[in-house]
Amino acid sequence: MKTKDQSINLKILQCAKSEFMDKGFADASMRRIAEKAGVTTGMLYSRFADKEEIFAELVRDGADKLYGFFMNAQNAFAAFPPEKQHSEMHSYVDKEMDVMIDIIYDNFDAFKLIICKSGGSRYHDYVDKMVEVETKNTKRFIECLRESGVKINNVRADLSHMLSSAMFNGVFEVVAHDLPKEDAVVYIGQLMEFFNVGWDKLLGL
């Protein structure tokens, strides 16, 4: 019975993914998911409370893995002494981005749903949360270097937020446009080079 139950859930999730990819979260229908999966709506609701739960089941693993790695990398960098933060800023971010690309492409369908189809779900602001963390830690980085005696320009919080938003949304364009991973590596590498030079100019480093 357990194997049968798992196979039904798998079928439901496969059909739900198709529904979300086609209609987006907001316009997806539990009735259509049930019909595609060949189950009654009663059976569907006995297994998943609502489409939010189904959507989360489809994206949670990839979303949590990427966000967890991102937060750990941010916190590890913040723990570096100021001189190491200064000297390794760009190389650290580049290595961090390499791992993030691997996670995104290992969970591509999940990120396709998050980036392109999550409007109305609790994942609609997934990228915005990463932007907020990046903005906060950019401020902390500037303060850390200034307190250590490094001459560094201040950057307004709203500008820092806009730049972080532009960077992260630029990274996730590879998902929106279904770029092959090898093309994404080149594209994101060029994007990061652009932002590295720009930040150096703004900060006067």
Residue 37 maps to which CATH number? 1.10.10.60
Mean pLDDT, each 10-residue run in order, the chain (205 residues): 69 97 97 96 94 97 98 94 90 94 98 98 97 95 90 92 96 97 96 94 91
Give the per-residue pLDDT at 6.
Answer: 81
- 66 with 100, same domain: the answer is yes
CB 127 within 8 A of CB 168: yes
Check: pTM over 0.85? Answer yes or no.
Answer: yes
- 115 with 68, same domain: the answer is yes
- 83 with 143, same domain: the answer is yes
Asked if residue 53 belongs to a domain, the reply is no
Question: Which residues constitute the domain of residue 33?
Answer: 1-48
Q: At what angle do helices 126-147 and 157-171 cross, to 10 degrees?
A: 130
Give the per-residue pLDDT at 2.
Answer: 43
Give the per-residue pLDDT at 109.
Answer: 97
